[in-house]
Amino acid sequence: AKSWTMVRHFEGAPKPEDFKLVNTELPSLKDGELLLESEFLSVDPYIRPYSKEKLKEGDIILGSQVARVVESNNAAFPVGGYYVAYAGWTTHFISDGTGLDALPSNWPDNLPRSLALGAVGMPGVTAYYGLLEICKPKEGDVLLVNAAAGAVGSLVGQIGKIKGCKVVGSAGSDEKLTFLKEIGFDEAFNYKTVSSLAEALKTASPEGYDCYFDNVGGKFSDAALQQMKDFGRITVCGAISQYNDSVPPSGPYIQPYILFKQLLMQGFLVWTWKNRYPEAQKQLLQWIAEGKLKYHEHITNGFENMPAGFIGMLKGENVGKAIIIV
């Protein structure tokens, strides 16, 4: 097996020299075990904050994949079956079947299996429950989402449109703004080039926002909270603008807005919804089949390029879900 391991803990933005490619010979299979081969791997922002607590130097980097069973001593997992696994950045691995998730049973033949890591996988389920269960969008609401051209954000905006919202997105390049318009966002702005976030938010929706799906945190949230309508709802899904910070964040300076606007602000972790994945996946697959939900993938080819794919995603090089093809 080829695997990417962590040479040293990340400091600031992850760098190529933090990763090392190692070759290991896997042992032969015991009874009940199976050998899987990764087909697609996922690079996700959570890897950056979670590595510190979950990894020690020399460990395989955290991550998930779609993998195929290539050898099996376990009748429940026959050769040729495809599963989503959390085996980290590796081409091959041995499992006893624990923690392997079969692809949804109604997976259409014409859909790439990589979507099990994106629009129909963890990011899709995040967008679905994070938006519907916390922001609770209603017809006519104005919804704001940042990192809007990414895996989660692009789905949040489209689900908002399905629910009858006016949707405003922000992203870090003009190419991404074009993409947002293509997938149905009503308004989009480039947070890197606007002279004032507050003005950009006001221009996009002079009446303010009912729902705010936050993937970014930091200064963006400071500005966004000021533009919320009374009784607005906020899903705190991510804080990617702060993942590379070495000093813990302080504040929140925005508390008076939460008070006087009587806002509801709740953190969201998709793992909490593990038991309800199938329900969300069924709906996401249906919306895709009906053409109501468009997906986009940003593909990096070659396992050897996985660190570059990860670093690039954190810098915003991806439109849609960042995926590695082995």
Q: Classify burial at 162, counting beta carbons within 10 Å of its beta carbon; exposed 0-12, middle 13-18, buried 19 or more.
A: middle
Judged by CB under 6 A, the residue of 269, 274, 292, 305 near ligand NDP is: 269
Interface of this chain with ligand NDP, residues 191 to 210, rule: CB under 6 A? none
8 A C-beta contact, residue 36 and residue 68: yes
8 A C-beta contact, residue 190 and residue 164: no
8 A C-beta contact, residue 66 and residue 38: yes
Judged by CB under 6 A, the residue of 165, 270, 293, 324 near ligand NDP is: 270
Judged by CB under 6 A, the residue of 120, 168, 228, 240 near ligand NDP is: 240
Choose between 36 and 197: whose C-beta lies nearer to ligand NDP. 197
8 A C-beta contact, residue 244 and residue 83: no
User: Angle CA(158)–CA(108)–CA(32) in degrees, nearest 5?
Assistant: 115
The site map against ligand NDP for 297-326 (x = CB under 6 A) is ----------------xx-x-x---x----
CA distance 146 to 219: 12
Judged by CB under 6 A, the residue of 238, 265, 287, 326 near ligand NDP is: 238
Q: How far is the CB of 94 from ligand NDP (least distance, A)?
A: 27
Listing DSSP states for 115-169 in one string gives GGGTTTSHHHHHHHHIIIIII---TT-EEEESSTTBHHHHHHHHHHHHTT-EEEE
CA distance 232 to 278: 29
Q: Is 172 in the site for ligand NDP (CB under 6 A)?
A: yes
Interface of this chain with ligand NDP, residues 118 to 137, rule: CB under 6 A? 123, 126
Q: Is 64 in the site for ligand NDP (CB under 6 A)?
A: no
Stretch that binds ligand NDP, among 135-143, 158-166, 238-246, 289-297 (CB under 6 A): 238-246
Return residues touching ligand NDP (CB under 6 A).
44-46, 123, 126, 147, 149-153, 171-173, 176, 215-216, 237-238, 240-241, 268-270, 313-314, 316, 318, 322
